[in-house]
Structure 1
Amino acid sequence: MGSPRIIMKLIVAGIHDEPGDVRVIELKHQRKPLLPTFEPGSHVDVHLPDGKVRQYSLCGDPEDLSRYTIAVKRESSGRGGSAWIYDQVTPGAELPVSAPRNHFPLKESGGPVLLLAGGIGITPILAMARVLCRQGKPFELHYFARSRSLAPLLRTLEESIGAKSLRLHFDDQVDTLQDIEGLLSTRPSGAQLYYCGPLGFMAAVARVSEHWPDGTVHFEAFQPPVQDDTAPEPFTIVLRNGTVVPVPADRSALSAIRAAGVLLMASCENGVCGTCECGYLEGQPIHRDAVLSNDARSHRFIPCVSRATGVLKLDL
């Protein structure tokens, strides 16, 4: 069972707009001068009035704990959370926000670091670049966008890390275009890769980095990968105590587990935040999340979206 997360009532201390229908929101505590610490790659849950919970990467400086900074891209075709925040939240408003959580940590590495961001995917990457720059560690950040005029947080990025480690790639500027396959075809000795962006960008980077060794490629997705049209099949979950939990074709494993009396924490219920992550001991899972690494998929499971074939024994 996951442990409850601390929820803080934070005040919107400032708002400004960025290119690409992105709104940057600064959050402060009403009484405390400092917020809980966070590492680059961390996100927070923002709880909306209708009960929805949305995750946003912290794109501010991890050394400045006087505020949390999130960037919200208005997605008119999304699930409604970003549109509500973009349209309704004003300075002085109160938002329930969780303590930070990190499924996309910047790992210790003796070799160079390669950071790739597509559009709004710059949000967790920006915090990483700030830390690497401060530590004096070798890295390159490749930022891909349709144009300079649509690239959110570009000015902040240029001011934070400068031109030495920054490579900008805009679709409308031929001289800046970069072939991702060529970029990742050869892995520098000891290099680690981190990437984040929209679905097409994520799929392209995943495909051309398949030859990188396990444990050297890290990512964060804002949406789960597109699934095939195969109809879900029923399967069975077995808990540690032997309880058998049938999962019908039209029900998620998470809802079936909860109905069996297991109080498993969840947040996005969309396979991107990892809050409901648990272990599995036996069986053949069908992974449909956008959280777990290839290594983790050998023993971890995201029940809000993933399924299984036959019987799956969970470590619950």
Structure 2
Amino acid sequence: MASPRIIMKLTVTAARKEPGDVLVIDLKHARKPLLPPFEPGSHVDVHLPDRKVRQYSLCGDPTDLSRYTIAVKRENVGRGGSAWIHEAVAVGCTLPVSAPRNHFPLAQREGTTLLLAGGIGITPILAMARALKRQGKPYELHYFTRSRALTPLLSVVERELDYSTVWLHFDDEPKTRQDLKSLLSTRSSDAQLYYCGPPGLMTAVDRATEHWPEGTVHSEAFQPPQQDGAPPEPFTITLRDGTVVPVAADTSALAALRAAGVLLMASCENGICGTCECGILEGQPIHRDAVLSKEARTHRFIPCVSRATGVLRLDL
């Protein structure tokens, strides 16, 4: 996979509205027939005016590298990126886009894969379902939305995936509703779960899978997790060379590191993209990101949102 630091100028070759206030965009390179390869679960950084950077999952076919496809839900309460895309992006315009990277990979394992998506969370899940179908591996896709009329990419799901592997759950259709707790209460011994969606769904699945074995549950969040409300405390970062970087209560670790002259790449600065990830050598981190797995949290750190108790020694 190409380095995510590569920035390509891609041309919008198609832009269509989908239910749920979603804009689906196809992007191609003006000179190169093939774009860098990507795996299911990958996303790209889209660079917007005013130095804004937003991350969007690639929901197209990983075997079709002539284009990238992203789907952008307009968020009326947000940081303005989705609104700009909906208002300004049209066929023929160009967007600076990074090479793909993947914090939500589909493991190559035997057994059944359970896919859960809520609303716009279908974007990485759709790419996974396509791959599993192509590989002939067993899977189930459960897609939760408010109503059929507001379900983005529904026509794609119904057209490209096998009817017997897809369950659609609409809040306004009692016959299609599914209780997550009962759905996830039991699992086959070889099952793997992948899920993505709004905070309510993410929290419900987290709670319903507490009994699942470690390493069998995988997720991607589009919003940072809700914090406990406790006020942040100051702490100290030390670097490999012994440099001491104090982090005030009202300052992020990323901002403090930058002020100390540490050149650290960052993108979302919201704990959901993983660009600023670095290693932990010693200390007790307070993780507040939506990127790192349970295992990764033992030795990795997301400084744009996460903090620490006392002194944290980083591999920087």
Q: After superposition, where does 1:227-242 map in structure 2 within 5 Å? A: 227-242=227-242
Cα deviation for residue 228 of structure 1 reads 2.2
Structure 2 residue identity aligned to 1:112: T
**1:71 — aligned with what?**
71
Q: Find the aligned partners of 2:49 and 2:94 in 1 and give their Cα distance.
A: 11
Aligned residue for 2:137?
A: 137
> How far is 1:298 from its partner?
0.9
Amino acid in structure 2 at the alignment position of 1:56: Y
By how many angstroms is 1:48 displaced?
A: 0.3
| Partner residue in 1 for 2:280 | 280
Matches within 5 A, 1:29-178: 29-178=29-178
Deviations 1:137-158 (A, max 9, x none): 0000000000110110011011
Equivalent-residue separation in structure 1 for 2:206 and 2:253 (angstroms): 27
Structure 1 residue identity aligned to 2:222? F
Shift of the alpha carbon at 1:4?
6.6
Q: State the distance in 2 between where 1:221 and 1:63 align.
A: 25
Deviations 1:101-136 (A, max 9, x none): 000000011110000000000000000000000000
- Kept in 2: contact 1:142–1:167 (CA 8 A): yes
Over the residues paired in the alignment, what is the CA RMSD in angstroms? 0.9
Identity over aligned residues, as a percent? Answer: 75
With structure 2 as the length reference, what TM-score do the two structures score?
0.98
Please give the secondary structure, in 2, of the residue aligned with 1:50: helix
Structure 2 gap ranges (5+): none
Cα-to-partner distance string for 1:169-212 (whole Å, 9 max, x where unaligned): 00111111111011111121111100000011111111111111
Q: Is contact 1:104–1:220 with CA below 8 Å preserved after alignment? A: yes
Where in structure 2 are the equivalents of 1:167-316 lying within 5 Å? Answer: 167-316=167-316
Alpha-carbon distance in structure 2 between the residues aligned to 1:278 and 1:140: 35
Q: Matched residue pairs, number?
A: 314
Distance in 2, Cα, partners of 1:91 & 1:4: 25
- 1:238 counterpart letter in structure 2: T
Letter in 1 for 2:6: I
Distance 1:222 1:253 in 2: 21
Is the Cα contact below 8 Å between 1:4 and 1:265 reproduced in 2? Answer: no
Q: Report the CA distance between 1:213 and its aligned residue.
A: 1.1
What amino acid is aligned across from residue 177 of structure 2 in structure 1? L
**Could you tell me how far apart the structure 2 residues matched to 1:193 and 1:231 are?**
34
Deviation at 1:88, TM superposition (A): 1.0
Residue type at the aligned position of 2:34: L
Q: Distance in 2 between matches of 1:261 and 1:238?
A: 13
**What letter corresponds to residue 259 of structure 2 in structure 1?**
A
Gaps of 5+ in 1: none
Structure 2 CA distance, aligned partners of 1:136 and 1:103?
A: 24
Q: Distance between the aligned counterparts of 1:296 and 1:223, measured in 2?
A: 19
